[in-house]
Amino acid sequence: MTAAFLCASLGIVPTVRHADYIGSWLEVLRDDDRAIIRAASAASKAAEYLLAFQAGEDEPEVPAGLAIPASAHESQRAASVP
pLDDT in single tens digits along all 82 residues of the chain? 888 888 888 898 877 777 777 788 888 889 998 998 999 999 999 998 888 888 666 665 666 655 555 544 444 444 444 4
* DSSP codes of every residue in 3-64: HHHHHHHHT-------HHHHHHHHHHHHH-TTHHHHHHHHHHHHHHHHHHHHTT-SSPPPPT
Q: Is 68 helix (H, G, I), strand (E, B) or coil?
A: coil
- Report the predicted TM-score, pTM, of the whole model to 2 decimal places: 0.56
Query: Closest by alpha carbon to 60, among 77, 48, 72?
Result: 48
